[in-house]
Amino acid sequence: MTWNENGGRLGEEFFTPGSSSFTEFLAAHRPELLSIRRMLPDGVRAAPDQVPHGTTVLALSYRDGVLIAGDRRATMGNLIAQRDLEKVHPADDYTAVAFAGTVGLALDMVKLYQVELTHFEKIEGVAMTLDGKARRLAGMIRQNLGQAMQGLAVVPLLTGYDPSAPEGERGRIFSFDVAGGLYEKTDFHAEGSGSPYARGALKKLFRKGLDRREATLAALQALYDAADDDSATGGPDINRRIFPIVSLITEDGFERLPETETEELSREMVEQRRTRPDGPNARP
């Protein structure tokens, strides 16, 4: 795609005026590369027990920005398809995306979204605003609507640090529906099969001004509660040393919590659950 067969020069498509969207560029010149637009044959639906699905992801704002986390399990029906799936990814230096839903399409969508943001910045010379990033991801989800109706849905969760927002509100959270509907959430949110239980846990554990450690423990507790009631969500696997992925976005940018820190806090939480299996109570 990149080079002309004659002389190695760029093809004409690279000099054709257009928008700053890489997705639109591909749609115009190489639509077969866009997996989010491929449809199954008419009348065919994906069998839910034949395609790996990611389950629970969540996000919450805290004192320095926003935290985004996810469990590691992927399932195919009643089978565990993967125990160490990575559902949380940086989109750029100040934005992260996590996903629930069809794993293969979700990973393709994340990679395409990363390129989309980089391409926009190269073409326009400035980074896209956080609201613009949310709208752009909503448009990509909308392009996948046909496959979603055939059983191959992807439901991302987007977080970012917005320096233009008021102090204390710079960590922002956006959720989406399968039709590309865009919704900004306040304080916290969760997506996936275990999300009702994760949101219930966050409802009692969240408070304004959590520090980094408190926010991480709240996220781990919520994922633990999700795994406790939802068989598709994986809890901390102490024996295999597989723990949730936790990432933070602050004014310093994206940071994935070191594995050692996540393991230490996960072990601390599991030990606490020995005496309080239902987890901590809400603070007064």
Residues with catalytic roles? 55
CA-CA-CA-CA dihedral for 29, 115, 134, 54, to nearest 10: 100
What's the gap between Cα 64 and its chain centre? Answer: 20
Phi-psi region of 193 (alpha: psi -120 to 50; beta: other; left: phi over 0): alpha
Q: Which two tokens stand for residue 22?
A: 């890489």
What are residue 101's DSSP bridge partners? Answer: 54, 154
- Cα 57–44–97 angle (5° rounding)? 20
**Taking a C-beta distance cutoff of 8 angstroms, is the pair 105, 99 a contact?**
no
Vertex 213: Cα angle to 210 and 216 (nearest 5): 85
Q: Please report, as a single letter, which amino acid is at residue 100.
A: A
Instruction: For Cα atoms 68, 20, 13, give the angle at the middle one, nearest 5 degrees.
Output: 130
Cβ neighbours of residue 279 closer than 8 Å, sequence gap 6 or more: 201, 221, 224, 225, 273
> CB under 8 Å to 284, separation ≥6 — which residues?
none
